[in-house]
Amino acid sequence: MRKQEPLRWSFSLPTNGHKRFSINGAHLLFIRFHFKGKPNEHGEVEIGYSIVKEYRNKGLTTEAVRELIYWGMGQPGVEKVLAACHHYNLPSVQVLRKVGMELIYSEQDLLFWEFTSFQK
């Protein structure tokens, strides 16, 4: 029997951390999304993401973050997915709200978010 490799939490999907799309036969890499490490002792894991400017406001970041949360919440021991963004980064605030994250607190110019369960 082959030994199963441990899960890797510090990774980005899929190609060097960028989501790959093909438009008219050209492969484009323009979004980076990742976990910032493995879950802590409280079952919390933090996500991060960025997207190339000309591909913003197309729903791609929302789709990628939603999938990242879905995958993370499906892993053993994960109870919460966390994220942070600057209060003035309104597109990120919108993404985090759209994927069902709740604002839990703010500190200086940062907003801290958590996702604990899928809405029914």
Q: Taking Cα atoms as reference points, which of 33, 37, 28, 32 lies closest to residue 9?
A: 37
Which residue type sits at 112?
F
Lowest mean pLDDT across 23-27, 94-98, 114-118: 23-27
Among the CATH numbers 3.40.630.30, 3.40.47.10, 3.30.1490.20, 3.40.50.720, which is that of 18-115? 3.40.630.30
Residue 1 has pLDDT above 60, yes or no: no
Q: Taking Cα atoms as reference points, which of 18, 47, 16, 46 lies closest to residue 32?
A: 18
Q: Taking Cα atoms as reference points, which of 77, 50, 76 lies closest to residue 64?
A: 50
Q: What is the dihedral of CA 21, 22, 27, 28, to 10 degrees?
A: -40
**Residue pLDDT, tens place only, 62-89:** 888 898 899 899 999 899 999 999 999 9
Whole-angstrom Cα distance, residue 116 to residue 16? 28
Of 10 and 89, the one with more pLDDT? 89
pLDDT value at position 52?
A: 77
Neighbours of 13 (CB within 10 A): 18
